Amino acid sequence: MNIEQLIEEPPSLSEEELAARRDRIARDMQAARERAEAAAAVQAAQRQASLAHEAVRPAGERLIERRCHGCHTPETFESDNLTPLGWRLTLWRMEWWHGVALEPGEYRQLHEALVERSPASRGRALGEVALIISFPLLLVLLTLWRRRRPHS
Ligand code: HEC
C-alpha cells in the first residue's frame, strides 16, 4: 500500500476501535487539563505566599527599598551606622544634593526605619554629643576668659 492508496482509501476502523481512539484522546485531553490546573494552582499559591511575605515586612523597609535601592545596593547601608542626627543629615543630603524625591511623610518614616535598623554605636553617639556641646561650651569659656582679663 503506497501513500496515494492510503489517502484514497484510509484504513477503515471498526466502531470499537474508533470508540477506543476517541476515549484515549479524551483521556489525554483531560490529563493535560488537570496538569495545567495543578500548575496554575501552584503558581497562585506562590504568588499568595510572596504577597503575604511582602505584607509582613515593615513598611519602612519597603520604603527604603523603593527610595534608596535605585542608587545603592543594600550593603551600602549595612556598613553605615549613624545616630538619629546622622541619618537626618544623610537624608537631607540625599534629598538636596542627589535629588531624591520624597513624598510628605516619607521622610519621617525613612528616618525611623534607618535609625532602628542601623543605629550608631554608643561610643559614636557620645562622641557626636560631645562634639555638638563643645562648640557653645568653647564660646562660653572664651567669653569668660575675655571678661576676666583686665581692661587695658
Ligand atoms: C539619586 C541617587 C541616590 C539615591 C536615590 C539615594 N542616594 Fe544615597 N548617595 C548617593 C550618592 C551619589 C552618594 C555618594 C556621595 C555622598 O555621600 O553624598 C550617596 C551616599 C550615601 C550614603 C553614604 C554612603 C557611604 O558610606 O559612603 C548613605 C548612608 C546614603 N547615601 C543613604 C541613602 C538613603 C538612606 C537613601 C534613601 C532615602 C539614598 N541614599 C538614596 C545617591 C543616592
The answer to whether residues 68 and 93 touch, using CB atoms and an 8 Å cutoff, is no
Question: Nearest Cα to 76, choosing from 67, 84, 85?
Answer: 67
Same domain, 132 and 101: yes
Structure confidence at residue 151 (pLDDT): 63
CA distance 152 to 149: 9
Q: Taking 90 as the threshold, does the pLDDT of residue 3 lie above it?
A: no
Which of 71, 75, 107 has most ligand 1 atoms within 8 Å of its beta carbon, as the pocket-test mutant? 71
Same domain, 64 and 46: no
pTM recorded for the entire structure: 0.64
Take atom 36 of ligand 1 and give the residue whose Cα is closest. 68
In a domain, 1, yes or no: no
For ligand 1, is residue 100 a contact (CB within 6 Å)?
yes
CA distance 110 to 120: 16
Same domain, 79 and 128: yes
For ligand 1, is residue 96 a contact (CB within 6 Å)?
no
CA distance 52 to 66: 18
What is the 69 CA–ligand 1 centroid distance (Å)? 9
DSSP secondary structure, 106-135, as one string: HHHHHHHHHHHHSBPPHHHHHHHHHHHHHH
Q: Give how many domains the chain has, as a whole number.
A: 2
pLDDT digits (tens, 9 = 90+) for 41-68: 999 999 999 888 877 888 888 899 899 9
Take atom 30 of ligand 1 and give the residue whose Cα is closest. 90
For residue 127, the enclosing domain spans: 59-148
In a domain, 11, yes or no: no
Take atom 9 of ligand 1 and give the residue whose Cα is closest. 94
pLDDT digits (tens, 9 = 90+) for 91-144: 999 999 999 999 989 999 999 999 998 888 888 889 988 998 999 999 999 999
For ligand 1, is residue 110 a contact (CB within 6 Å)?
yes
Same domain, 22 and 84: no
Please tell me whether residue 82 adopts helix, strand or coil conformation.
strand
Structure confidence at residue 1 (pLDDT): 62
Same domain, 48 and 74: no
Amino acid at 38: A
Structure confidence at residue 34 (pLDDT): 97
